[in-house]
Structure 1
Amino acid sequence: MKKKITLIIALLICAISVAQTPEKMSYQAVVRNADGNIVGDTNIGVKISVLKNASTGTVIYAETHAATTNVNGLVTIEIGTGSIVTGIFANIDWGSDTFFIKSETDITGGSNYTISGTSQLLSVPYALNAKKADNVKTYKIGDFAHGGIVFWVDETKQHGLVCAKQNQSNGIKWFAGTFGSTYARGNGLFAGKSNNTVIISTQVFIGDDGNDYAARICNQLEVIENNVSYGDWYLPSAFELKLISQSFATINNTATSNGGSALLNSFYWSSTEASGNNAKIVNVSNAQESSVFKSSLNPVRAIRSF
């Protein structure tokens, strides 16, 4: 019968081995038999499991080793280099949870494991976690990703804004029906998203002639790229249009290279209202801002965040 006696096999070191590759951990333990005597100079069988969340948690990785103890009963193995039973060691996200190492030992060298012990990893395996961070996808302005063309990224370069690869209209009204204030006057990063919601909800109360308008066609846009559907587009704020203008040529190159169309050398509708009768427009070729009647016809290029 398997005995779970944590004193029989005691974890001494569980540190990252980074000399050659970060895809392993150095593990050492002193092996003793059921009577507490050191098992020295002996070929043993070891099974190592990585458990998530608790000492009795889910096994997300397991492997076996044929190892040999030294005269003092010390066995040294490298977790991540054994014969895999289940899981992929390189895919473990060490920073996502609490992890435990469970060791099972057969002092006769086989796989009839009669000695077991479980120890918590009290610190995140740094090199492995750092490597995981190194593998995080980052983006730059001009990348074609997340359904469109990246025109702004945050300090992590993992998140930002993309614009659609083609216009949703080359000339459409800002509003459908009568004039009136929506108070969609946000202007800054991501402000267009809330503006878009305000415009559409307010349009119902002010009056809607049933025709499409700038915010509506952005809200209804669906873009499918690489079998992924992106449906959370919105009409950019004036500030967000000015960000687009900063990368006008880069965006056009990426758009035309991916089956889209270049931005026009023209004023585009923003979602930023100027008054009950007017809304702001921005020339995306030079960042010039103005405001015009909402009944004017101007092009639209939708954006989304990622």
Structure 2
Amino acid sequence: MKAVNFLIIGLLFLAVATAIPSYGLERSKRSIITGYAVDVNHYPVTNALIIVDNIKTSIITNEKGFYRVKVKPNSVSVGIISITHGFLEEIINGRTRINFTFPISVVGHDLIPEYKPEEEEINIGYGKVKRKNLTTPVSKIYGTRQTASYNSIFDMLQGTVPGLTVNGGRILIRGLSSRYLSNEPLFVVDGTPVSSIAEIPPQNVESIEVLKGSAAAIYGARGANGVILIDQIGAPPLRDSITPGAIRKVPTAETRAATNIKKSTGTLNGIVNANSFPASVAFEFGTTSIYGILIPAAQNPVTGNVPVNVSTEITGLKPGITYHYRIVAANSFGRVTGIDIPFKYHGEVPHAETHAATKCSPGSAQLNGIVNTRGMPAVVAFEFGLTADYGSLIEASQSPVSGPAASIVSAIVPHLNAGTNYHYRIVATNDEGTVYGEDKTFKSEYSLGEYMYGGYIFYIDETGEHGLVCAPSDQSMNAPWAWGSPAPAGATDRAVGTGYKNTADIVLGCPEEGIAARLCRDLEMDGYSDWFLPSVNELFLMYTNLHLKGSGNFKDGFYWSSTQDKYGAWVVSFLYGSKSNQNRNKNEIRTRAVRAF
């Protein structure tokens, strides 16, 4: 029984031990993708940005066109963006090696790297060291344009690497003997150990390195027979040690000042010399020197060997924001950037409209207008005077004006000459300039229907300086003129200017609460407490000067006056415009208070 238990435990341990590495290997394969980017002629595409699932990463291809990017297990696609070659995208579909070949080549590559054997960097598994610092034999060969003449990678290796024996598809490193069954070296292709290299086309080989001794120790027992490292790409890399003539093939770029900054738009400028090789030109742009936005130049790509003015239009600028930009030019030989230049968009000149003057009187008037600041604070005022030359200026009470929406502004002009015509216009100024509204006129006198002194003006006396206003709404729709009898003494005057005395007579003779005259006498509104019930002629002026002109908020019914006779109290019909006499205790008649100014 114990033997059975030990057997079961042993099997479970073996299952777990084998499952964990398998899971780790699978996780590793799914989390890292590597590859190369080349053009149609198999030359490396450098400084290309890698994207995963349409999201930019911080990974760019190196000088060999190589990239290595970590992806999530559920990632679907990987892509590459080059400002010189365009955009490509591949579905991952479980792959860990994805190479990109762009269908174009922007320049010819006739330059040959300056070869310095002692400075050559050799991959020894855990890093690179220069050949002159090695103490262990290492061999390295490069793929060339003549790789097409080889029928296989074995033909390529045959006789080119000292100490290497190639027999058909079998490779041995001379001078090494092994305790293991196989004498073949370990093959590592693009960083991954493989069992065979027979399927690698010679034209895809960038370089082959042969390690043995301590140089192969990083691979442990697997490297006991030596290690052959193969990097694929299909062409020799462009190294930093290329001849000075090649360095001059990189474009030159100079950022110039932005222009035409107005109406939330502007122009970014620069100068580029392509140095005889087509150069892709764009502007990096944003609210910080990290930028974040790349906008191609209108002249992209630039060719030739002379400086060319380049530019691009930008929109959506916001007032008060500082923006940064710089020019970027690139070809297959390299990428250059101009200096960072900041600029601040202040906004536009404001928009201003002159509106009609209100609250006009013999001695003052309210000047009105509307202003849209367009993003920048604006000082607002009104010019006024006896002619269109104005001569006087008064600041709006709302000045300075700010905010994104249009604002209503006004100013009260005092000390006017009574009965005089005046000109006026609005003026708005911000950091971008000054604008003027159209010229308008007003007369320094009261106007019928104007709302002033707590109500609507319905009468102006012969001096032009005094008159009567009515309250903006009814005080009652059913209050009686008086309760019962006898009628109060007085309150018989009809003329304009007698309503105040009539009201006093009614209140004195009728002590009851809730009657029309007392409602008016007790009214306090807009800071005024001297209201009264109008005489019949005053009431009729309210009908002709206000109601017939659509002003005053009256109803088409009867309104009480403060005038009485022996038959009853007088009313005015605002439906028919007629006067009549009604019983004093009738409760279907409206009440509207008035006051003098």
TM-score normalised by L of structure 2: 0.26
Q: Which has the higher contact order (CA 8 A, sep 6+)?
A: 1
TM-score between the two structures when normalised by the length of structure 1: 0.49
Q: Which has the larger radius of gyration?
A: 2
